[in-house]
Structure 1
Amino acid sequence: MNLQNLKRNDKLLEQLAGEYVLGTLRGGARRRFERWLRDDVIVKRAVAEWQDRLHPMAEFAPSAQPSPQVWQAIEKQLKLAPAPVRQDRRSFWLGLREDLSFWRGLGMASTALATILVTVMLTRQPEPAMQTMSFVATLSDEKAQPVMVVTGDAKRRQMTVKVVMPQNIAADRSLELWAVPKQGAPRSLGLVANNGTVVLPMPEDATPESIPVLAISLEPKGGSPNPNAPSGPVIFKGAWVQI
């Protein structure tokens, strides 16, 4: 595979650019891609587009505390030898290890970007009988576990809500999908199931520019009695992005 062949294969270029931004492209393949990235404007544009799609997702994921093995792996990879730490001055790496804001950002980015990359890759696969999806959101719980994937078809004006982690919902409760705009009150998009797939109408203005976030609330049977806001807790949420 050379650069010219890559530029003629849009699907492969998209896949490699997405994996590069996420950090899953490794070894010789990553080094080769980085050489192309330095020299070619088309490759640079593909990487920049993936950065625009994926990086905002980190804002919506909850914090994640890494295990002790993470620090041990960093020490091993950087070949850091154990050294005594003076009480009046902590080492840079120890301070970094204990910096919760650093680990919070790392946890948010890794979880959210991995989830959205898988979702986007799946929705971009060509299928003869389907229209290309224009928008996607991965709705996750407070532990950053993906629960639902929402895709929006701009041509058909419909949203498809697929449950990837079935939920146990009481018989007297319903799950309701909400559009959370940049300004103004949330807007109900309809009820969704606790398992399987549901198709809902998509408003014409349901774009990431006006509606950056989608959310699911737990409501009384039939939905929230207030059309302008959830009456129950918001249990899942995620960024609504264009693909």
Structure 2
Amino acid sequence: MDLHRYAGLVDQLAAEYTLGVLRGGSRRRFETISQHDPAIRLAVETWRLRLTAMTELGAPVTPPPEIWPSIERRLNLVNARRDAAAARPVAPVAAPARPVARPKPNWFENLSFWRGWSIAATAIAAIALVVSIRELSTVAPVPAPVPAPQVAQEPRIGYVATLADDKSNARMLVTWDDRTSEVTVRRLSGSSDPSDKSMQLWGLPKQGHPVSLGVLPVGGTARFKAASVNAYPILAVSVEPVGGSPNPNGPTGPVVYTGKVIPAA
């Protein structure tokens, strides 16, 4: 079954699959088809990014107090706990012990003696502590610890675009981090760089000429700054001479990939 024949069907199924409401045979068939269709896998990944952002922004919700008793009743935990308590042997109650007469303590066991001794020992320890502090103050100062390197912040994906060829085959995935204004272009299976040419990413505004967002390096993942990528509803990739299009107002070579820019959340 070609899911791409029906407008919006792939996106709808990807949303239901990510939310977990697509079940049974429909879920298994969707998983089988997605193994051979990169566009479907990208649609699922896009929905996963959207839902991840929603869970991070949502306020925590405390479950009602009756939830746990309801779970216990469904799993029959109350009866199981009662049966376990009934089967547990009860230890016999021991008779109270008769008081034993204790001999009069000698000086070694005298509380007053040890109380006075503890006061004297505390005073000696305090004096030793003061002397130690004075000795340490004359020692060379210990250098301050070197602060640990700061951990890079996790990217915050604001916009996503799947760029496909004229046969609707997904070739590139473009994400934009709205915290750092960094665009990341990832090549997918089937994407190849032409020899002796450059591939250039363009933003197509609603009005005006295309705007160059950068020349893509050969192979691998590309990253560069583009503070206004959300201003372009559509992105496109063209094949240009080495170094990029000689025309600043648009591509001069064929446009091979296009895709819509959509919010990730």
TM-score (norm 1): 0.51
Number of corresponding residues: 146
- Show structure 2 runs of 5+ residues with no match: 1-12, 28-36, 54-151
Cα deviation digits, residues 196-221 of structure 1 (max 9, x gap): 10101112x321xx311000000011
The AA in structure 1 aligned to 2:220 is G
Q: 1:215 to 1:188 in 2, by over 3 A?
A: same
1:206 to 229, 233, 247: 229
Is the aligned partner of 1:131 residue 2:152?
A: no
2:167 to 129, 136, 143: 143
The AA in structure 1 aligned to 2:22 is L
Residues of 1 paired with 2:24 and 2:216: CA distance? 43
Larger radius of gyration: 2
Give the stretch that moved more between structures: 17-26 or 220-229. Answer: 17-26
Is the aligned partner of 1:158 residue 2:182?
A: yes
Is the aligned partner of 1:119 residue 2:46?
A: yes
Identity %: 40
1:183 to 204, 207, 218: 207
The AA in structure 2 aligned to 1:206 is V
Q: 1:141 to 1:17 in 2, by over 3 A?
A: closer
TM-score (norm 2): 0.47
For residues 1-243 of structure 1, the aligned pairs below 5 Å read 18-19=15-16, 25-27=22-24, 115-121=42-48, 129-165=153-189, 167-203=191-227, 205-207=228-230, 210-243=231-264
Deviation of 1:125 (Å): 5.6
Moved >4 Å (runs of 4+)? 20-24, 27-30, 110-114, 122-126
Deviation of 1:121 (Å): 1.9
The two structures, once aligned, show a CA RMSD in angstroms of 3.6
- Show structure 1 runs of 5+ residues with no match: 1-15, 31-109
On the 8 A contact 1:224/1:231 being kept in 2, the answer is: yes
Q: 1:131 to 1:218 in 2, by over 3 A?
A: same
Residues of 1 paired with 2:167 and 2:256: CA distance? 11
On the 8 A contact 2:18/2:47 being kept in 1, the answer is: no
Deviation of 1:18 (Å): 2.1
